[in-house]
């Protein structure tokens, strides 16, 4: 590969554990879709790309974020694997950028560095009672059932009948669906065995998905709502009054929003057809959106040790359409529940003080992926845009970053004059610091064992749950 320009990618996406408690071995920023996508477009033969990842395993959000019952979404792994196996692409798992190696050191070793480590932080509700037992962030809950090593101690208490999910985005719907799905459906997925066993024992029968605005403003998409409506053994239970005036507004809505709203309206108001009525009568579980409600306090049990309910402020809307704002009416309402899952979004964190960071927006300030005031530094994924959009959105945003970089190479804006030794320099540093990376073939060993273990119980894979086990296998 002599003579190739070396380009460094730090590609990582999302941790589920508060960073203050993170140590190297339970760290979990993961190399995800934004990173792999940044590697793909119009591959240039004169560029080598090395990918650094905090965990020993790649694929980030696709492995640890996408719901286990959405296997079709995970098919992008096949494309990412082709990228990972490309002779000009190096993978260095088990390397924690900002701790094991600094961004400055990477910049000295490579002509360009792309930061793509996602949104590992959690938007906090900032309300009293948030720290009570029985309150979890969706980020941790999703990490728990998806096998993220740093979330395996969560062991959520599912002994209550009612769960409240705060927020109405797709993550909230993923969580609600997993809580209510029949075990027979889940046991064919790559959900962890520990989560499967906990869900088997779960007493949760009712999930309320609470949003501060109305039906026309929900953040989730029609596919996810349809999955809830069609969920075997569960019936929708909404408040018809939440839909006052919604039918009249339908005609002015853009098409995707209209389809979504019609579906919710049907589930909330229309009497089910005979066949559906039969299904509904048999359903032992229920779910429903609750609109115009903002969380104000998690209510403690009598002994003050755990969650007994949630106090919600009742809102009205100011303005119309998707931009309408929730305004407090002064009324409050208490809902009894033993489980509260906060799903109000993620935020990116600063991993290295040398990187420009906009703490207000929680992104790296950039123009089309070029980090402002930092030549040779680029960003992609949620770190670039904030935590929004599906996999295709993230892929496009990463292609844009790759295009910006190539443009800068061609225009001379990116300094390519110095000879840079890339991974050679970084692996020397790592060796001195006693850090042993995991290569892509190391990950493939883990992959083979996981799929074999899963195959024996009819699952696509049984994920390893500790970094230690992953390392042991990868280094064998
Ligand atoms: P999201 O789509 O941004 O939804 C966040 C939700 O939290 C919204 O309902 C928002 O309400 C609410 N919220 C925010 N701040 C709040 C506050 N202070 N008080 C009360 N409610 C608050 O975020 P997400 O669900 O975490 O998903 C992130 C991205 O990943 C989205 O683009 C999503 O589509 C994508 N994703 C896709 C899939 C899939 O395709 N199946 C699965 C998971 C995630 P407002 O609207 O009022 O702000």
Q: End of a domain among 283, 311, 344?
A: 344
Residue 388 CB less than 6 A away from ligand 1:
yes
Parallel, antiparallel, or unpaired for β 366-367 and 370-371? antiparallel
Residue 454 lies in a domain: no
Task: Give the CATH number for residue 297.
Answer: 3.50.50.60
Residue 461 lies in a domain: no
Beta bridge partners of 206: 162, 286
Query: What does the pLDDT read at residue 10?
Result: 44
Judge whether 429 and 418 are in contact, CB under 8 Å: no
Judge whether 383 and 11 are in contact, CB under 8 Å: no
Does 329 share its domain with 271?
A: yes
Residue 219 lies in a domain: yes
Does 385 share its domain with 289?
A: no
Residue 299 lies in a domain: yes
Structure tokens at 300: 């403690």
Task: Give the CATH number for residue 22.
Answer: 3.40.50.720
Query: What does the pLDDT read at residue 17?
Result: 21
User: What is the C-alpha to C-alpha distance for residues 357 and 450, in angstroms, rounded to an integer?
Assistant: 37
Residue 469 lies in a domain: no
Q: End of a domain among 314, 344, 374?
A: 344
Query: What does the pLDDT read at residue 39?
Result: 59
Residue 344 CB less than 6 A away from ligand 1:
yes
Residue 100 lies in a domain: yes
Residue 468 lies in a domain: no
- For 126-173, strand residue ranges (E) read 135-137, 162-166
Residue 172 CB less than 6 A away from ligand 1:
yes
Residue of 344, 387, 392 to mutate, ligand 1, most atoms within 8 A of C-beta: 344
Judge whether 39 and 63 are in contact, CB under 8 Å: no
Does 281 share its domain with 335?
A: yes
User: What is the C-alpha to C-alpha distance for residues 266 and 23, in angstroms, rounded to an integer?
Assistant: 49
Does 154 share its domain with 296?
A: yes
- 60 half-sphere exposure, CB direction, 13 A CA radius: 30
CA of 218 to the centre of ligand 1 (A): 9
Q: Which residues of the chain have pLDDT under 50?
A: 1-4, 10-31, 41
Q: How many structural domains is the chain composed of? A: 2
Does 321 share its domain with 351?
A: no
The protein residue whose alpha carbon is closest to atom 16 in ligand 1 is: 344
Residue of 32, 169, 222 to mutate, ligand 1, most atoms within 8 A of C-beta: 169
Does 211 share its domain with 271?
A: yes
Q: Please write the tens of the pLDDT for every residue from 215-230.
A: 999 999 999 999 999 9
Q: End of a domain among 317, 344, 371?
A: 344
Does 383 share its domain with 322?
A: no
Does 32 share its domain with 106?
A: yes
Judge whether 238 and 289 are in contact, CB under 8 Å: yes
CA of 386 to the centre of ligand 1 (A): 11
Does 338 share its domain with 351?
A: no
**Start-to-end Cα distance in the chain:** 27
Domain that holds residue 278: 124-344
Does 270 share its domain with 367?
A: no
Helix axes 170-180, 138-145, angle to 10 degrees: 50
171 by Cβ neighbours in 10 Å (0-12 / 13-18 / 19+) ranks as: buried
Residue 417 lies in a domain: yes
CA of 333 to the centre of ligand 1 (A): 23
């Amino acid at each position: 590969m002599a003579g190739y320009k070396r380009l460094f990618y730090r590609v990582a996406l999302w941790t589920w554990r508060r960073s203050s408690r993170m140590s190297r071995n339970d760290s979990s920023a993961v190399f995800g879709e934004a990173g792999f996508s940044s590697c793909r477009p119009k591959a240039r033969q004169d560029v080598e790309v090395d990918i650094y990842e905090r965990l020993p395993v790649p694929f980030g959000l696709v492995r640890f974020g996408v719901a286990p019952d959405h296997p079709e979404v995970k098919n992008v792994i096949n494309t990412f694997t082709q990228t990972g196996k490309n002779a000009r692409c190096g993978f260095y798992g088990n390397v924690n950028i900002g701790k094991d190696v600094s961004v400055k050191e990477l910049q000295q070793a490579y002509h360009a560095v792309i930061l793509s480590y996602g949104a590992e932080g959690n938007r906090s509700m900032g309300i009293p009672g948030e720290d009570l037992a029985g309150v979890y962030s969706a980020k941790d809950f999703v990490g728990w059932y998806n096998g993220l090593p740093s979330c395996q101690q969560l062991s959520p208490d599912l002994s209550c009948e009612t769960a409240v999910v705060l927020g109405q985005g797709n993550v909230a719907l993923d969580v609600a669906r997993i809580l209510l799905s029949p075990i027979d459906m889940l046991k064919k997925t790559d959900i962890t065995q520990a989560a499967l066993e906990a869900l088997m024992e779960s007493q949760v029968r009712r999930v309320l998905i609470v949003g501060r605005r109305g039906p026309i403003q929900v953040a989730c998409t029609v596919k996810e709502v349809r999955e809830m409506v069609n969920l075997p053994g569960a019936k929708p239970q909404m408040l018809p009054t939440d839909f006052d005036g919604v039918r009249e507004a339908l005609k002015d809505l853009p098409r995707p929003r209209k389809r979504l709203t019609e579906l919710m309206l049907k589930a909330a108001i229309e009497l089910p057809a005979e066949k559906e009525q039969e299904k509904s009568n048999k359903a032992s579980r229920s779910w429903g959106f609750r609109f115009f409600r903002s969380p104000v306090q998690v209510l403690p049990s009598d002994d003050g040790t755990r969650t007994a309910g949630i106090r919600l402020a009742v809102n009205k809307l100011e303005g119309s359409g998707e931009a309408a704002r929730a305004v407090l009416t002064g009324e409050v309402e208490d809902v009894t529940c033993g489980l509260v899952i906060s799903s109000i979004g993620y935020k990116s964190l600063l991993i290295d003080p040398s990187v420009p960071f906009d703490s207000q927006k929680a992104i790296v300030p950039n123009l089309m992926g070029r980090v402002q005031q930092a030549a040779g530094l680029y960003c992609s994924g949620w770190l670039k845009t904030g935590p929004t959009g599906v996999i295709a959105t993230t892929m496009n945003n990463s292609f844009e970053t790759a295009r910006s970089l190539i443009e800068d190479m061609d225009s001379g804006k990116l300094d390519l004059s110095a000879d840079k030794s890339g991974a050679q320099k970084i692996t020397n540093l790592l060796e001195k610091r006693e850090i042993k990376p995991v290569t892509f073939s190391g990950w493939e060993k883990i992959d083979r064992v996981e799929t074999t273990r899963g195959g024996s119980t009819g699952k696509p894979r049984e994920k390893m749950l500790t970094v230690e086990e992953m390392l042991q296998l990868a280094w064998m």
